[in-house]
C-alpha cells in the first residue's frame, strides 16, 4: 500500500468526502441520464462501479454494507425515479456491484495470502455439495446450460457476502456499526409505515397493498412489498430486543425499548403472517437459549404494540366522507388461519401440487431453474404443464410458488435441499454457540444474528426470500459477520488488522 493510501485509510477524510461526492454526482447523472438515453445511464453505472471498486480498497466494510443494501434501492426506490427504458439494467445493478466488490476484495485477499482461510468454513463443503447436486440434476434432467446456470446463480450469488465478510474481518465495534446501519434503515422504514397508518396509506406517493382478509391495506413503507418489509423487520428486531437488558443507563434502555416498539409496529402493520411467524420463532428460540429476560421483554412489547395498532388513530388525512374501517389483526389472522385449515390457501395448494412432482423426482429433483422461482418464469418450463402447476398461477403478479425451500426441494431433490439447509444451519449453530460464551456486548450481536437467520429461514417457507437479493444479501452478510465474531479473538484480530 502506498504512503498516500495508508494515510487516507488511517483518517484523512478528504478522500472519503471526494469519493462520496463523486458517487452522489454519478447517481444523479444516472437518474437524469436515464431519461435521455440508455447509453448515458449505462455509462454512469459503469463509473459508479469504478468508484465502488476504489472505495472498497480503502473502506471495505462500509462499502460491503452499502452494496448489501443496494438491492433495496434498485428494486424499490430507483424504478420511481428512472425512465422505464432502463428497468432491465436497474434490476441487475446490485449484482453488478456485487461482482465488482467481490473481485476487488478477492484480489486483495490473494495479495495478502488470506483468501484460502476466508473461503474455508464447514459451510463450504455443503455449498460445494449443493453445486454438485445441482449439476447432476441438470444433467439427468437435460436442463439447458443457460437455464441451469441461471437457476444456481439466482440461489447462490448472495452467498458471496458470507465470504466477503470473512475476507475483511470485523471487530465487535465494526460489526455493531455494520448491523446498526441496517437496523437504522429499518427504523426509518418503520417510522414511514407508522406515518402511513396514522395519516394516509398513500402518503409520499407510497403503495399500500390491498389485503384479502379484512386488513383493508397492508403497509410496506418504501419497500413496496409488505412481505419483504416484514422479513427485514424480523431480522432487525432481535438486535434491539437483546440490547434492552444489556444497557447501562436508563436513557439507553429507553431508546432500545422505543426502537423495538417502532420495529414491532412496522411488523404488525405489514400484516405479513410469515414475517410474524419468522420473528416469533427466530427470536423466541434464540432468546429461550441465550437470554430469557429478552424473551419476556419481547413478549411484553409485542402485546403492547398489538394494543397500539388496534387503538391508534388512523387515516387522519384521508378526505373521504367515510374513512375505511379499522383493520383488525385478530379477525384478519383468524380468517387467514381458517383458509389454511380448509386447504384453500395458495401456498397449501402449491404444496399439494408439488407432492407428485417430488414423488417422481425424489433424489435430484426436476433440475435447477425449472420450478418455483424467477428462472422458471423467465425461461419457461414444461414441469408446470405436466403437473398442472400453471393452473395455480391465477394472476400475472403470481409467478413463484412463495416457498423458497419447496422451490429448492423440487428443483434439486432431497439431496439439494439437505445440502443447502446444511450450509445455513452450520454457521447458525456456530454463531449460537459463540453467543453463549461471549462478552455481553458481543452476545447481543451474535444472538441477534442467530435470531435473524432463523427468522428469515422460517419466513422463507412462505415466500421466496432467499432468492430475492433485497433479503438474501443481508442474510448471508449477517451470517458471515456472525462466523467472524464467533471465532477465537486472536484469529479475528489477525484478520481485521490486515484489512484497515
According to the 3-state scheme, what is the secondary structure of the chain? CCHHHHHHHCCCHHHHHHHHHHHHHHHHHHHHHHCCCHHHHHHHHHHHHHHHHHHHHHCHHHHHHHHHHHHHHHHHHHHHCCCHHHHHHHCCHHHHHHHHHHHHHHHHHHHHCCHHHHHCCHHHHHHHHHHHHHHHHHHHCCCCHHHHHHHHHHHHHHHHHHHHHHHHCCCHHHHHHHHHHHHHHHHHHHHHHHHHHHCCCCHHHCCCECCCCCCCCECCHHHCCHHHHHHHHHHHHHHHHHHHCCCCCHHHHHHHHHHHHHHHHHHHHHCCHHHHHHHHHHHHHHHHHHCHHHHHHHHHHHHHHHHHHHHCCCCCCCCCCCCCCCCCHHHHHHHHHHHHHCCCCHHHHHHHHHHHHHHHCCCCCCCCCCCCCHHHHHHCCHHHHHHCHHHHCCCCCCCCCCCHHHHHHHHHHHHHHHHHHHHHHHHHHHHHHHHHCCCHHHHHHHHHHHHHHHHHHHHCCCCCHHHCHHHHHHHHHHHHHHHHHHCCHHHHHHHHHHCC
CA distance 349 to 394: 12
The pLDDT assigned to 247 comes to 79
Is a pLDDT exceeding 80 seen at residue 197? yes
What is the percent of the chain where pLDDT is above 90?
63
The pLDDT assigned to 69 comes to 93
The pLDDT assigned to 211 comes to 61
Residues 6 or more apart whose CB falls under 8 angstroms from that of 176 comprise 441, 445
10 Å CB burial of residue 38 (0-12, 13-18, 19+) is: middle
Is a pLDDT exceeding 70 seen at residue 15? yes
Q: How far is CA 102 from CA 97, 130, 142, 178, 483, in A?
A: 8, 21, 31, 18, 18
Is a pLDDT exceeding 60 seen at residue 492? no
The pLDDT assigned to 375 comes to 94
The pLDDT assigned to 1 comes to 41
Domains of the chain, by residue range, sit at 1-113, 114-500
Count of CA atoms in the C-beta half-sphere (13 A) of 184: 9
CA distance 483 to 500: 19
CA distance 411 to 364: 7
CA distance 117 to 147: 32
Is a pLDDT exceeding 80 seen at residue 395? no
Residue given cell 495478502 in the structure block? 112
The pLDDT assigned to 361 comes to 97
The pLDDT assigned to 2 comes to 43
Is a pLDDT exceeding 50 seen at residue 21? yes
CA angle 18, 22, 28 (to 5 degrees): 150
At 127-145, the pLDDT tens digits run 999 999 999 999 999 999 9
The pLDDT assigned to 337 comes to 62
CA distance 459 to 234: 9
Specify the long-range contacts of residues 460-463, CB closer than 8 Å, at least 24 apart: 460/403, 460/404, 460/405, 461/274, 461/403, 461/404, 461/405, 461/406, 462/227, 462/273, 462/274, 462/277, 462/347, 462/402, 462/403, 463/227, 463/228, 463/231, 463/274, 463/402, 463/403, 463/404
The predicted model gives 82-97 an average pLDDT of: 82
pLDDT band for position 368 (cuts 50, 70, 90) = very high
At 206-247, the pLDDT tens digits run 777 766 655 677 888 988 889 999 999 999 999 999 999 887
Is a pLDDT exceeding 90 seen at residue 251? yes
The predicted model gives 60-89 an average pLDDT of: 85
On average, the pLDDT of the chain sits at 88
The predicted model gives 54-62 an average pLDDT of: 93
The pLDDT assigned to 357 comes to 97
The pLDDT assigned to 334 comes to 59
CA distance 483 to 433: 10
Task: Pick the more confident residue, 410 or 493.
Answer: 410
484 closest CA partner among 475, 471, 469, 494: 494
Other C-beta atoms lying within 10 Å of the C-beta of residue 68? 30
This prediction's pTM: 0.91
At 145-182, the pLDDT tens digits run 999 999 999 999 999 999 999 999 999 999 999 999 99
Task: Pick the more confident residue, 264 or 79.
Answer: 264
Is a pLDDT exceeding 90 seen at residue 260? yes
Is a pLDDT exceeding 50 seen at residue 5? no
Amino acid at each position: 500500500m502506498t504512503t498516500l493510501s495508508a494515510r487516507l485509510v488511517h483518517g484523512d477524510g478528504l478522500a472519503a468526502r471526494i469519493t462520496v461526492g463523486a458517487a452522489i454526482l454519478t447517481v444523479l447523472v444516472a437518474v437524469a441520464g436515464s431519461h435521455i438515453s440508455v447509453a448515458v445511464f449505462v455509462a454512469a453505472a459503469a463509473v459508479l462501479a469504478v468508484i465502488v471498486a476504489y472505495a472498497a480498497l480503502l473502506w471495505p466494510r462500509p462499502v460491503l454494507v452499502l452494496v448489501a443494501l443496494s438491492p433495496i434501492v434498485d428494486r424499490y426506490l430507483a424504478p420511481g425515479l428512472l425512465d422505464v427504458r432502463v428497468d432491465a439494467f436497474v434490476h441487475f445493478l446490485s449484482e453488478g456491484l456485487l461482482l465488482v466488490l467481490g473481485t476487488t476484495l478477492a484480489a486483495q485477499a490473494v495479495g495478502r495470502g488470506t483468501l484460502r482461510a476466508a473461503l474455508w468454513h464447514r459451510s463450504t463443503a455443503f455449498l460445494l455439495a449443493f453445486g454438485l447436486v445441482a449439476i447432476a440434476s441438470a444433467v439427468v434432467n437435460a436442463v439447458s446450460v443457460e437455464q441451469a446456470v441461471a437457476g444456481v446463480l439466482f440461489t447462490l450469488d448472495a452467498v458471496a457476502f458470507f465470504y466477503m465478510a470473512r475476507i475483511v474481518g470485523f471487530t465487535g465495534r465494526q460489526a455493531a456499526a455494520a448491523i446498526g446501519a441496517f437496523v437504522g434503515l429499518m427504523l426509518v422504514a418503520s417510522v414511514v409505515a407508522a406515518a402511513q397508518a396514522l395519516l394516509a396509506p398513500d402518503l409520499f406517493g407510497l403503495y399500500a397493498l390491498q389485503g384479502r382478509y379484512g386488513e383493508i391495506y397492508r403497509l410496506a413503507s418504501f419497500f413496496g412489498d409488505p412481505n419483504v418489509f416484514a422479513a427485514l423487520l424480523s431480522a432487525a428486531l432481535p438486535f434491539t430486543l437483546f440490547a434492552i437488558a444489556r444497557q447501562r443507563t436508563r436513557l439507553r434502555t429507553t431508546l432500545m425499548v422505543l426502537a423495538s416498539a417502532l420495529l414491532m409496529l412496522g411488523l404488525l402493520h405489514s400484516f405479513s403472517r410469515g414475517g410474524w411467524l419468522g420473528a416469533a420463532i427466530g427470536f423466541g428460540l434464540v432468546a429461550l437459549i441465550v437470554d430469557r429476560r429478552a424473551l419476556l421483554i419481547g413478549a411484553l412489547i409485542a402485546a403492547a404494540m398489538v394494543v397500539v395498532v388496534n387503538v391508534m388513530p388512523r387515516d387522519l388525512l384521508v378526505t373521504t366522507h367515510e374513512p375505511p374501517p379499522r383493520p383488525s389483526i385478530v379477525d384478519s389472522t383468524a380468517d387467514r388461519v381458517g383458509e389454511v385449515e380448509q386447504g384453500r390457501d395458495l401456498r397449501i395448494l402449491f404444496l399439494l401440487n408439488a407432492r407428485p412432482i417430488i414423488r417422481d423426482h425424489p433424489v435430484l429433483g426436476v433440475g435447477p431453474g425449472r420450478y418455483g422461482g424467477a428462472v422458471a418464469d423467465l425461461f419457461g418450463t414444461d414441469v408446470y404443464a405436466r403437473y398442472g402447476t400453471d393452473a395455480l398461477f391465477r394472476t400475472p403478479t403470481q409467478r413463484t410458488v412463495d416457498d423458497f425451500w419447496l422451490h429448492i426441494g423440487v428443483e434439486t431433490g432431497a439431496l439439494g435441499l439437505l445440502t443447502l439447509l446444511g450450509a445455513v444451519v452450520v454457521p447458525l449453530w456456530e454463531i449460537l454457540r459463540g453467543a453463549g460464551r461471549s462478552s455481553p456486548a458481543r452476545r447481543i450481536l451474535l444472538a441477534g444474528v442467530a435470531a435473524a437467520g432463523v427468522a428469515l429461514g422460517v419466513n422463507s417457507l412462505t415466500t421466496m426470500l432467499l432468492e430475492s437479493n433485497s433479503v438474501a444479501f443481508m442474510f448471508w452478510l449477517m451470517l458471515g459477520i456472525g462466523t467472524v465474531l464467533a471465532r477465537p479473538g486472536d484469529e479475528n484480530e489477525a484478520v481485521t488488522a490486515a484489512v484497515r
